[in-house]
Structure 1
Amino acid sequence: MNRQPEADWQTLIIEESADRVLVRLNRPEVRNAIDQQMVDELHRVCASLEASPKILILTGTQQERGGFFASGADIAQLRERRRADALAGINIKLFIRIAQLPMPVIAALDGYVLGGGAELAFAADFRLGTPSIKIGNPETSLGILAAAGASWRLRELVGEPLAKEVLLAGRVLDAQESLAAGLVSALHPPEELIAAANALADRIAAQDPLAVQYTKSVFHAPAGAHPEADMEAQAVLFEAPAKFERMTAFLERKKK
């Protein structure tokens, strides 16, 4: 991967290759708390990936004493936000945009995954973790709610009873609990986390990109959109060159 100039990014470290972009949240002094600058820079990443679809890997900062994904929103900024800021949907609009990126998003999680950091992870298509992850939404302890997606995404991911424990009672899930609940699909040692994320990205990249994009879109279509959404997407793919190329190659391999 080619690392983009750090001068262009204040809160992110970007490494880009032909089929994927690795984005490291990079505010280690505050455990990668999500501030307005990071929101703005992640919007820039989204704009690039909307124009030129690639797999996105989101991860945090590795430190000598352990890594961390994101400890939440920046409380100093959050304390000063008022009604108009809530209605502006600063974080939720970004996380929806990330969830709707054309190609899959992989969150590679280590250490703290809390508050807005958890909601960012919930917006990904895949979540991989390390044995040290702590995932939770402590917003009600601060007098607010998890309004950037957790109130509905977490229920879809782990079911209502566990989601309510996290959202209403402040339960923080450790690695084994997150794995058992299906919130993460696998656990890896910290030094192997990015390799595991890249291995998953390799498997995605081996598929036809257009088929992956349509599959993701149809998967997330509202219930009332089916089966029309499925048929319309398949109609496009049935005419795409990759379908003929890949099926011809499959049939030729069977002959050998």
Structure 2
Amino acid sequence: MTLRIEERADRVIAILDRPEKRNAIDQDMIDALHALCASLEADPRILILTGSGGDFAAGADIAQLRDRTAADAREAINATAFIRIRELPMPVVAAIDGYALGGGAELAYAADIRVATPSLRIGNPETGLGIIAAAGATWRLPEIIGEARASEMLLTGRALDAAEALRWGLISAVHPAEDLLSAAHAIADRISANDPLATRHTKLALRTLRAQHPEIERELQAELFESPEKHRRMTEFLERRGR
């Protein structure tokens, strides 16, 4: 098993588990990620993604990647799975230790929130291997850190350490390795305390194309304004303040 799953009522923890290969992403892991997405699409919960053995994922499995053909490239094997992760109804938190390179970095880019340890090394060395970062980096990375910085990373292939990744906004916080998963759970706790429907609608609005704003907010907000949960939460807020 290349992906270990721990389930709770409000969240799922998915652990990339090929430590002998630094959790390199192979076809079995991609298949497991699709199965995980199917579960979370049917039963929306927060997802925490992390890796075992002191790394997130050191990239795609080069032994498999070397043998892939043009037909495989056109199937967008990794990209399809990462798009599905990005489009999950509830937020995805990536807790990143050690290496997050190539496909591992692109999996991290698909998360909504990224936290890391001081040992982080994140980047896309694909051009040094004669290919491009084709599983999301060329469009997601500019959205996260800006076009100029994304161009530098992707065209030079250099990896960022934790301090630079934090300064560039690629991650939102750095935690000691022993505290990383607790920090991810703390984020999930804060998300879980909020209204799930409002959270889902916020994520949907965040990933909607600019041309569709502000129309999408109007429709999502209209649904929420009629929600019993909105009325309950606002009533509790006012009662706590004695109004």
Query: What is the match of residue 215 of structure 2?
Result: 228
Query: What is the match of residue 26 of structure 2?
Result: 35
Unaligned residue ranges in structure 1 (runs of 5+): 1-9
Mapping for residues 79-228 of structure 1, pairs under 5 Å = 79-228=66-215
Q: Distance in 2 between matches of 1:96 and 1:171?
A: 24
1:108 partner letter: A
Give the count of matched residue pairs. 243
Q: Which 4+ stretches in 1 moved above 2 angstroms?
A: none
Identity %: 63
Q: Distance in 2 between matches of 1:86 and 1:232?
A: 38
Mapping for residues 15-94 of structure 1, pairs under 5 Å = 15-62=6-53, 67-94=54-81
1:246 aligns with 2:217: no
Unaligned residue ranges in structure 2 (runs of 5+): none
Give the root-mean-square deviation of aligned CA atoms: 0.8
Q: Distance in 2 between matches of 1:219 and 1:116?
A: 23
Tell me the TM-score normalised to structure 2 length.
0.99
Which range moved further: 124-133 or 235-244? 235-244
Deviation at 1:241, TM superposition (A): 1.1
Q: Distance in 1 between matches of 2:224 and 2:208?
A: 17
Secondary structure at 1:255 match in 2: coil
1:35 partner letter: D
Secondary structure at 1:113 match in 2: strand
Q: Distance in 1 between matches of 2:206 and 2:134?
A: 23
1:11 aligns with 2:2: yes
Which range moved further: 97-106 or 219-228? 219-228
